[in-house]
Amino acid sequence: MSKVAVIGAGAAGLMAAYAAAANGNDVTVFEKNEKSGKKIYITGKGRCNVTHDCTPSEFLSKVVNNGKFLTGAIYNFSPQDCVEFFENGGTRLKSERGARYFPASDKASDITKCLENYCKNAGVCFKFNENVLNITNLHSTMRDIITDKGSYSFENIIICTGGLSYPSTGSTGDGYKFAKAAGHKIIPLRPALCGLNLKGGFYKNLQGLSLKNVELLIDCNGKLIGKFFGEMLFTHFGASGPIILSASSLINGLDLGMVKLSLDLKPALTAEQLDKRLLRDFAEYKNKSVANCLKELLPSALIPEILKRSGVAAEKQTNSVTKAERLRLLTSIKNFDMLVASLRDFSEAIVTAGGVDVKEVNPKTMESRLVKGLYFCGEVLDVDAFTGGFNLQIAFSTGYAAGNSIKN
């Protein structure tokens, strides 16, 4: 029986603890908070988007950084395995729009409770309100964990401390400190899946406006690097919502001065079809102003900005709009350009990009290539993915890989 310490009782930590204990090991979990799964409780707006209904290969296409590293872990504990794990533990899941899995109860707490029950039934010991300060004697057979309450010795240590996102949940970057002390390289940390501060101030007049079924194109230095279809929201600082969050993960490592975002407000229509629609509306409302006519096509709050960008007067009658003006309107609707000033900070980011360099970690076991018996799981690693349950699945899969690799 090996003595195993797990630092952090989040998604990755709970899964790692269970998998290690299920192999007959003596497992202790250290958690600085008063309870486990604090970040799980707030994911998916308190409902917890557990995983995504897709194959492992489809899953890996949604990973932004180091998908290749995750291949073995995702295939060995796939989204389908994850669903079966929770349902076998008594927590029924449901697949919703966008192939996202949630607990049928719509309560994130059910996911945490299920993981806790698995751990307790496997004999895992929990030490809550105990903060790990240091790990010493890394290259000995028994490593020492120093906490604010005492010191303990273990043969294997699994670091599952999360990243820097949502620091109120206890994610304060402790794992990076432990990894650095062990000689590991830390890839620069960046907020991911976060809102964007936009330039220009135009968004202030659009604050609270939610757009659905729009397409966001991301251009860097003249090259299209990504596009997302779905929903977004204008805010007091710029923009947020699902497609903006995904965009943030693509651009957080780039020179933002080279990045341009372009919204297609009517992606279901080609430019030619939209032009015909404008002509038809203008003919039908020939004695009305352009601003009134566009209410048939666009949200009212957006019309002044579209007209401003097109250089068309709001009060101008539709029957006097020139072809050039109409084409400028069309361009503003199909290419609503936005420039990014900066990303929102870690306190608002759903996940952290960057982290422990995966080149120094065994992808099959999550064990350090530098220090035997030391493991890294979840957000502390330099891996992240788009929204949709992918990041939680990464936590579960890497946690399972680490815990399951430690044999009795």
Residuewise pLDDT in 10s, the chain (408 residues): 899 999 999 999 999 999 999 999 999 999 999 999 999 998 888 999 999 999 999 999 999 999 999 999 999 999 999 999 999 999 999 999 889 999 999 999 999 999 999 999 999 999 999 999 999 999 899 999 999 999 999 999 999 999 999 888 888 899 999 999 999 999 999 999 999 999 999 999 999 999 999 999 999 999 999 999 999 999 999 999 999 999 999 999 999 999 999 999 999 999 999 999 999 999 998 889 999 999 989 999 999 999 999 999 999 999 999 999 999 999 999 999 999 999 999 999 999 999 999 999 999 999 999 999 999 999 999 999 999 999 999 999 999 999 999 997
Q: Which domains does the chain have, with CATH numbers?
A: 3-192+350-405 (3.50.50.60), 195-344 (1.10.8.50)
Residue owning tokens 């010991």: 125
Q: Which helix (H) or strand (E) holds 139?
A: none
Residue owning tokens 């908070």: 33
CA distances from 190 to 73, 227, 302, 304, 384 (A): 24, 21, 32, 35, 11
Name the residue among 202, 207, 180, 186 with its Cα closest to residue 261. Answer: 202
Say how many C-beta atoms besides its own lie within 10 A of residue 213's C-beta.
11
Contact at 8 Å (CB) between 358 and 69? yes
What does the alpha-carbon distance between residue 45 and residue 241 come to, in Å, rounded to a whole number? 12
